Structure 1
């Protein structure tokens, strides 16, 4: 399916390969360059080279080449395993790691590492996403639960559907949020102006995010967010909706922001019922060093 986007004045004179990779979630600049070479990208209905400088008003169109499923290679990638038994495991994913193979990311993903670490993973989500019950964005860090067999996978998926899985995120947002606690209850769907982004729309699916302010700084707010639903980019889209986009989130927020390798969002706490033993389990992982460093610097300047 073809997508298209009109270039805004602020992006004029940027290289098309850099601009497009910045706008597409989980797609590298190298992959965009390959698409351009294979004529999957056009500007004003004509093909260009990767070094083409886009101009205001240019209509950029692209289509993602169809990828045939292939065997995913096992890779000896260091993983931070928080918990593991014969049914499930919980992993703390770092910033910059894609959860499963997709266009532009065929290696170096969490799944590649999991296949090396585990002999068996559930197959409910197909060969490209073995064991993956839910996911978090490439530039979001934190806890994920993984199923080792189909029975465990279905049980965990049912808990997500029934909203009994508890997920708490730590975040830094632009601006000073006035309320100590709040709930954002607003449906989320594809942004009609930019299809690679999510937005609050009338046609969207129900989405509910609860937040609590941890600390306020001069121009930022440290907060925790609890998900009641699990829509794509839910926290990122909801925070943009209330005009407090996440720091470091160039897709949903301003370019001028904190120096971070991705959005300031960390899946800190994960709680679910074990699919076999029935035991309620809770796991917590501290935010990565770059996140904590940003908080320390904000404290020093406040």
Structure 2
């Protein structure tokens, strides 16, 4: 995302621009776009419902197509004014104030190859199996245009399928950014189609490892409840019966071990809904440890595990959800052979397990 400064003949907040402004017709929500030279600005009158919100949060909701990170960076680059004055991302807004926001430049849809190390578990002339590290986004999306798995793949491999479009070369299925583990990538369109059919027909066996932030009493069970879009948080999913966005979802889990109020579990999702395992485990009162969206905490310290407030035990052990795609089994589209690939548990999860096993 470009962070250009305003042109010299534009003085934001003064009410005088020195150049001709052209604006779109005012919308019903008191929002309009104004072009000043090569820059596009969005003028917004703050509604009553937004009183007390941070300006970066409000603009993230008001400006589709941009992440909160992009919005924050634009504000920090003096890209927003409130009643004519530049502000910080944290400033609170009030009803009827006027925001002028410089719209960030669009990011190219093309995948940019980047020399990023990959842990390749298997490769042949038709497909690649990778152990994705935590923190890596699978394909470019708003707020995450670089450092993606597709960028790493595009740099390393000469040919990848283009069935998924220019931003998703080779991508047959996805893992959440902070979920580590096995993911299969198609080199050719034929392989891509065959693998996609196996996923759609539920012929692919997926096994995950998770640590939950609560004790699960049942040794094993099936969670079979539909999942749909959260009613008011756009980045979350939720259990939703009889809703337009709801889809059937089924997850089998089996307890590996219990440690105080924490549980290690083996999870086999039968379907592949967005955030399925995270939502289902949260539904039974055992959200995944360190799941920012569904468990309400974004890091795990030693003190949290031991239940003490000793400052010496505040060492951070984990900063992402404790979820790992451990195994993936599918039929090779060319040979017809059933193949199973396994990714070892990463170091951050092993640190947590080591501490959990020391609990009484």
- The TM-score normalised by the length of structure 1 is 0.83
Name the SS of the counterpart of 1:116 in structure 2.
helix
In structure 2, the partner of 1:283 is: 341
| Alpha-carbon RMSD | 3.2
Does residue 268 (structure 1) correspond to residue 326 (structure 2)? The answer is yes
In the aligned structure 1, how far is the partner of 2:138 from the partner of 2:331?
22
Give the counterpart of 1:227 among 244, 269, 274. 269
In the aligned structure 2, how far is the partner of 1:297 from the partner of 1:20?
41
Does residue 155 (structure 1) correspond to residue 197 (structure 2)? The answer is no
In the aligned structure 2, how far is the partner of 1:31 from the partner of 1:68?
11
- Structure possessing the higher relative contact order (Cα contacts under 8 Å, 6 or more residues apart): 1
Give the counterpart of 2:354 among 296, 299, 302. 296
Give the counterpart of 1:207 among 215, 228, 249. 249
In the aligned structure 2, how far is the partner of 1:193 from the partner of 1:66?
28
8 Å Cα contact 2:291/2:298 also seen in 1: no
Deviation at 1:214, TM superposition (A): 0.3
In structure 1, the partner of 2:172 is: 133
Distance 1:38 1:163, change over 3 A: farther
In the aligned structure 2, how far is the partner of 1:286 from the partner of 1:101?
26
8 Å Cα contact 1:139/1:261 also seen in 2: no
In the aligned structure 2, how far is the partner of 1:166 from the partner of 1:297?
30
Larger CA deviation: 66-75 vs 76-85: 66-75
In the aligned structure 1, how far is the partner of 2:262 from the partner of 2:287?
10
Deviation at 1:41, TM superposition (A): 9.4
Deviation at 1:48, TM superposition (A): 6.0
8 Å Cα contact 1:95/1:261 also seen in 2: no
- The TM-score normalised by the length of structure 2 is 0.70
Distance 1:73 1:190, change over 3 A: same
In structure 2, the partner of 1:108 is: 147
In structure 2, the partner of 1:177 is: 216
Distance 1:109 1:298, change over 3 A: same
8 Å Cα contact 1:69/1:127 also seen in 2: no
Name the SS of the counterpart of 2:234 in structure 1.
strand
For structure 1, list consecutive stretches of 5 or more residues without a partner in the other structure.
1-5, 22-26, 56-61
CA-to-partner distance for each residue in 1:174-199, whole Å, 9 max, x for gaps? 11101110111011110103121000
For structure 2, list consecutive stretches of 5 or more residues without a partner in the other structure.
1-48, 61-65, 95-100, 302-317
Deviation at 1:49, TM superposition (A): 3.4
